[in-house]
Structure 1
Amino acid sequence: MNLADVRLDEFLRMMQNTAQPTQAPALAPAQLLPKARDLPENYRSMSPTEARARLRDLKSEAVQRASNQRWSDAESKEWAALTREHRMCLHLLAGIDGELTELALREWRELPGPERAAIKAEVRSLRAAMAGVFSLSGNW
Protein backbone atom coordinates (compact mmCIF):
# COMPACT_ATOMS: atom_id res chain seq x y z
CA MET A 1 0.00 0.00 0.00
CA ASN A 2 1.32 3.40 -0.98
CA LEU A 3 0.35 6.11 1.51
CA ALA A 4 0.49 8.72 -1.23
CA ASP A 5 -2.58 7.07 -2.82
CA VAL A 6 -4.64 7.03 0.40
CA ARG A 7 -7.04 9.88 1.11
CA LEU A 8 -7.03 11.52 4.54
CA ASP A 9 -10.45 10.18 5.58
CA GLU A 10 -9.40 6.62 4.63
CA PHE A 11 -6.16 6.99 6.58
CA LEU A 12 -7.97 8.24 9.69
CA ARG A 13 -10.48 5.36 9.46
CA MET A 14 -7.64 2.83 9.19
CA MET A 15 -5.89 4.36 12.18
CA GLN A 16 -9.06 4.22 14.31
CA ASN A 17 -9.64 0.57 13.40
CA THR A 18 -6.10 -0.51 14.23
CA ALA A 19 -5.40 1.71 17.24
CA GLN A 20 -5.60 -0.21 20.47
CA PRO A 21 -5.40 1.47 23.86
CA THR A 22 -2.19 0.63 25.64
CA GLN A 23 -1.79 0.64 29.36
CA ALA A 24 1.17 2.32 31.00
CA PRO A 25 3.59 -0.03 32.73
CA ALA A 26 3.09 -0.34 36.45
CA LEU A 27 5.52 1.50 38.68
CA ALA A 28 7.46 -0.24 41.41
CA PRO A 29 5.82 -0.09 44.82
CA ALA A 30 7.15 2.74 46.98
CA GLN A 31 8.60 0.38 49.58
CA LEU A 32 10.92 -1.17 46.94
CA LEU A 33 12.47 2.16 45.99
CA PRO A 34 15.70 3.10 47.79
CA LYS A 35 15.27 5.37 50.78
CA ALA A 36 16.76 8.83 50.78
CA ARG A 37 19.76 9.15 53.04
CA ASP A 38 20.05 11.99 55.49
CA LEU A 39 23.01 14.29 54.98
CA PRO A 40 25.45 14.87 57.82
CA GLU A 41 24.76 18.08 59.73
CA ASN A 42 27.78 19.99 58.37
CA TYR A 43 26.63 19.38 54.76
CA ARG A 44 23.02 20.50 55.28
CA SER A 45 23.93 24.14 55.76
CA MET A 46 26.22 24.35 52.71
CA SER A 47 25.35 26.63 49.84
CA PRO A 48 25.67 25.22 46.31
CA THR A 49 28.90 27.18 45.83
CA GLU A 50 30.38 25.79 49.04
CA ALA A 51 29.28 22.27 48.07
CA ARG A 52 30.98 22.58 44.67
CA ALA A 53 34.18 23.82 46.32
CA ARG A 54 34.08 20.91 48.78
CA LEU A 55 33.56 18.44 45.92
CA ARG A 56 36.54 19.92 44.04
CA ASP A 57 38.70 19.50 47.16
CA LEU A 58 37.54 15.92 47.63
CA LYS A 59 38.19 15.15 43.96
CA SER A 60 41.72 16.56 44.12
CA GLU A 61 42.40 14.61 47.29
CA ALA A 62 41.10 11.40 45.72
CA VAL A 63 43.26 11.89 42.62
CA GLN A 64 46.34 12.47 44.75
CA ARG A 65 45.66 9.39 46.85
CA ALA A 66 44.92 7.20 43.83
CA SER A 67 47.94 8.31 41.84
CA ASN A 68 50.43 8.54 44.72
CA GLN A 69 51.61 11.76 43.05
CA ARG A 70 52.17 9.91 39.77
CA TRP A 71 50.73 11.23 36.54
CA SER A 72 48.67 9.31 34.03
CA ASP A 73 50.14 11.05 31.00
CA ALA A 74 52.97 13.32 29.95
CA GLU A 75 50.69 16.29 29.24
CA SER A 76 49.37 16.34 32.80
CA LYS A 77 52.89 16.06 34.18
CA GLU A 78 54.20 18.92 32.05
CA TRP A 79 51.19 21.10 32.89
CA ALA A 80 51.70 20.48 36.61
CA ALA A 81 55.39 21.43 36.29
CA LEU A 82 54.54 24.87 34.88
CA THR A 83 54.27 27.78 37.29
CA ARG A 84 50.94 29.46 37.78
CA GLU A 85 52.23 32.54 35.94
CA HIS A 86 53.22 30.50 32.87
CA ARG A 87 49.85 28.79 32.85
CA MET A 88 48.15 32.19 33.02
CA CYS A 89 50.23 33.37 30.04
CA LEU A 90 49.26 30.31 28.02
CA HIS A 91 45.57 30.86 28.79
CA LEU A 92 45.89 34.49 27.76
CA LEU A 93 47.74 33.69 24.52
CA ALA A 94 45.25 30.94 23.68
CA GLY A 95 42.41 33.46 24.00
CA ILE A 96 40.63 31.68 26.84
CA ASP A 97 38.32 34.05 28.69
CA GLY A 98 37.84 34.02 32.42
CA GLU A 99 39.65 34.74 35.66
CA LEU A 100 43.20 33.75 34.75
CA THR A 101 44.31 32.98 38.30
CA GLU A 102 41.37 30.59 38.73
CA LEU A 103 41.91 29.00 35.32
CA ALA A 104 45.62 28.48 35.98
CA LEU A 105 44.88 26.44 39.11
CA ARG A 106 43.00 23.76 37.18
CA GLU A 107 44.64 20.44 36.44
CA TRP A 108 45.21 19.52 32.79
CA ARG A 109 42.40 16.95 32.71
CA GLU A 110 39.97 19.52 34.16
CA LEU A 111 40.36 21.70 31.07
CA PRO A 112 37.71 21.18 28.39
CA GLY A 113 38.91 19.67 25.13
CA PRO A 114 38.73 22.89 23.06
CA GLU A 115 40.77 24.76 25.69
CA ARG A 116 43.41 22.01 25.75
CA ALA A 117 43.60 22.11 21.95
CA ALA A 118 44.00 25.91 21.95
CA ILE A 119 46.77 25.75 24.56
CA LYS A 120 48.58 22.98 22.66
CA ALA A 121 48.42 25.03 19.44
CA GLU A 122 49.80 28.05 21.28
CA VAL A 123 52.66 26.02 22.78
CA ARG A 124 53.56 24.70 19.31
CA SER A 125 53.52 28.25 17.97
CA LEU A 126 55.68 29.52 20.84
CA ARG A 127 58.12 26.66 20.43
CA ALA A 128 58.57 27.49 16.75
CA ALA A 129 58.84 31.23 17.44
CA MET A 130 61.40 30.82 20.24
CA ALA A 131 63.57 28.24 18.47
CA GLY A 132 66.06 30.88 17.34
CA VAL A 133 66.00 33.11 20.41
CA PHE A 134 69.23 32.83 22.41
CA SER A 135 70.56 36.31 23.17
CA LEU A 136 67.49 37.41 25.09
CA SER A 137 68.00 34.66 27.64
CA GLY A 138 71.43 36.00 28.58
CA ASN A 139 72.85 32.46 28.72
CA TRP A 140 75.03 32.46 25.63
Structure 2
Amino acid sequence: MSDQPQPEPSSTVKDDELDRLMSLRDEFVSLATRGRFNDSASREWRRLPMNWRMALLLIAGIGQDHDNLGDLAERDWLEMPPPERDELRGVVRSAKKHLGALVALAAKV
Protein backbone atom coordinates (compact mmCIF):
# COMPACT_ATOMS: atom_id res chain seq x y z
CA MET A 1 0.00 0.00 0.00
CA SER A 2 1.21 3.40 -0.94
CA ASP A 3 0.94 6.47 1.29
CA GLN A 4 0.44 8.67 -1.73
CA PRO A 5 -3.01 10.26 -2.07
CA GLN A 6 -5.31 8.76 -4.65
CA PRO A 7 -6.36 11.09 -7.46
CA GLU A 8 -9.85 12.57 -7.21
CA PRO A 9 -12.32 11.09 -9.69
CA SER A 10 -13.21 13.46 -12.48
CA SER A 11 -16.40 15.48 -12.14
CA THR A 12 -18.01 13.55 -15.00
CA VAL A 13 -17.38 10.28 -13.17
CA LYS A 14 -18.90 11.79 -10.03
CA ASP A 15 -21.88 13.10 -11.99
CA ASP A 16 -22.43 9.73 -13.66
CA GLU A 17 -22.24 7.95 -10.33
CA LEU A 18 -24.61 10.45 -8.72
CA ASP A 19 -27.09 9.98 -11.58
CA ARG A 20 -26.89 6.22 -11.14
CA LEU A 21 -27.44 6.47 -7.38
CA MET A 22 -30.37 8.87 -7.81
CA SER A 23 -31.94 6.49 -10.31
CA LEU A 24 -31.53 3.58 -7.89
CA ARG A 25 -33.02 5.69 -5.10
CA ASP A 26 -36.03 6.58 -7.25
CA GLU A 27 -36.49 2.93 -8.17
CA PHE A 28 -36.32 1.91 -4.51
CA VAL A 29 -38.85 4.57 -3.47
CA SER A 30 -41.17 3.46 -6.24
CA LEU A 31 -40.93 -0.18 -5.16
CA ALA A 32 -41.18 0.59 -1.45
CA THR A 33 -44.20 2.87 -1.79
CA ARG A 34 -45.85 0.86 -4.57
CA GLY A 35 -46.36 4.07 -6.53
CA ARG A 36 -48.28 5.88 -3.79
CA PHE A 37 -46.47 9.17 -4.43
CA ASN A 38 -47.28 9.08 -8.13
CA ASP A 39 -50.89 8.23 -7.39
CA SER A 40 -51.14 11.10 -4.92
CA ALA A 41 -49.47 13.51 -7.33
CA SER A 42 -51.86 12.38 -10.08
CA ARG A 43 -54.88 13.02 -7.87
CA GLU A 44 -53.59 16.44 -6.80
CA TRP A 45 -52.90 17.43 -10.42
CA ARG A 46 -56.34 16.25 -11.50
CA ARG A 47 -58.03 18.27 -8.71
CA LEU A 48 -56.30 21.53 -9.66
CA PRO A 49 -58.49 23.92 -11.64
CA MET A 50 -57.45 24.19 -15.29
CA ASN A 51 -56.36 27.84 -14.95
CA TRP A 52 -53.95 26.88 -12.14
CA ARG A 53 -52.54 24.00 -14.16
CA MET A 54 -51.92 26.31 -17.12
CA ALA A 55 -50.32 28.94 -14.85
CA LEU A 56 -47.98 26.34 -13.34
CA LEU A 57 -47.02 25.09 -16.80
CA LEU A 58 -46.22 28.64 -17.91
CA ILE A 59 -44.15 29.38 -14.81
CA ALA A 60 -42.27 26.12 -15.35
CA GLY A 61 -41.54 27.15 -18.95
CA ILE A 62 -43.47 24.19 -20.35
CA GLY A 63 -45.53 24.62 -23.50
CA GLN A 64 -44.13 27.93 -24.66
CA ASP A 65 -43.77 26.52 -28.15
CA HIS A 66 -47.17 24.80 -28.08
CA ASP A 67 -50.25 26.35 -29.71
CA ASN A 68 -52.78 25.27 -27.09
CA LEU A 69 -51.64 25.30 -23.47
CA GLY A 70 -54.99 23.81 -22.45
CA ASP A 71 -54.10 20.58 -24.27
CA LEU A 72 -50.94 20.26 -22.19
CA ALA A 73 -52.75 21.11 -18.96
CA GLU A 74 -55.38 18.43 -19.62
CA ARG A 75 -52.78 15.65 -19.60
CA ASP A 76 -52.69 13.30 -16.65
CA TRP A 77 -49.68 13.68 -14.37
CA LEU A 78 -48.06 10.45 -15.53
CA GLU A 79 -48.53 11.37 -19.20
CA MET A 80 -45.95 14.12 -18.77
CA PRO A 81 -42.31 13.31 -19.37
CA PRO A 82 -40.27 13.04 -16.14
CA PRO A 83 -38.31 16.28 -16.84
CA GLU A 84 -41.60 18.21 -17.06
CA ARG A 85 -42.87 16.65 -13.83
CA ASP A 86 -39.61 17.53 -12.08
CA GLU A 87 -39.83 21.13 -13.29
CA LEU A 88 -43.45 21.39 -12.11
CA ARG A 89 -42.53 19.96 -8.71
CA GLY A 90 -39.90 22.67 -8.35
CA VAL A 91 -42.41 25.37 -9.28
CA VAL A 92 -44.95 24.01 -6.77
CA ARG A 93 -42.31 23.93 -4.00
CA SER A 94 -41.42 27.53 -4.79
CA ALA A 95 -45.09 28.54 -4.88
CA LYS A 96 -45.73 26.94 -1.49
CA LYS A 97 -42.79 28.84 -0.06
CA HIS A 98 -43.78 32.22 -1.48
CA LEU A 99 -47.57 32.03 -1.51
CA GLY A 100 -47.95 30.29 1.84
CA ALA A 101 -46.77 33.39 3.67
CA LEU A 102 -49.26 35.74 1.99
CA VAL A 103 -51.86 37.11 4.36
CA ALA A 104 -52.69 40.70 3.44
CA LEU A 105 -53.05 39.92 -0.25
CA ALA A 106 -55.61 37.25 0.59
CA ALA A 107 -57.61 39.42 3.01
CA LYS A 108 -61.19 40.27 2.10
CA VAL A 109 -60.93 43.82 3.47
- Residue 130 of structure 1: how far off its partner (Å): 1.3
Matches of 1:131 and 1:85, distance apart in 2:
19
User: Which sections of structure 1, spanning at least 5 residues, go unmatched?
Assistant: 1-71
- Cα deviation digits, residues 3-57 of structure 1 (max 9, x gap): xxxxxxxxxxxxxxxxxxxxxxxxxxxxxxxxxxxxxxxxxxxxxxxxxxxxxxx
User: Given the two structures, how large is their TM-score scaled by the length of structure 1?
Assistant: 0.46
Matches of 1:89 and 1:132, distance apart in 2:
19
**Equivalent position of 1:122 in the other structure:** 91
Q: Aligned partner of 1:118: which letter?
A: E
User: Which sections of structure 2, spanning at least 5 residues, go unmatched?
Assistant: 1-37
Please state if 1:131 is matched with 2:97.
no
Q: Aligned partner of 1:93: which letter?
A: I
- Cα deviation digits, residues 45-87 of structure 1 (max 9, x gap): xxxxxxxxxxxxxxxxxxxxxxxxxxx7110010010011100
Instruction: List structure 1 runs of 4+ shifted beyond 4 angstroms.
Output: none
Structure with larger Rg = 1
**Equivalent position of 2:31 in the other structure:** none
Equivalent pairs: percent with the same residue?
Answer: 38
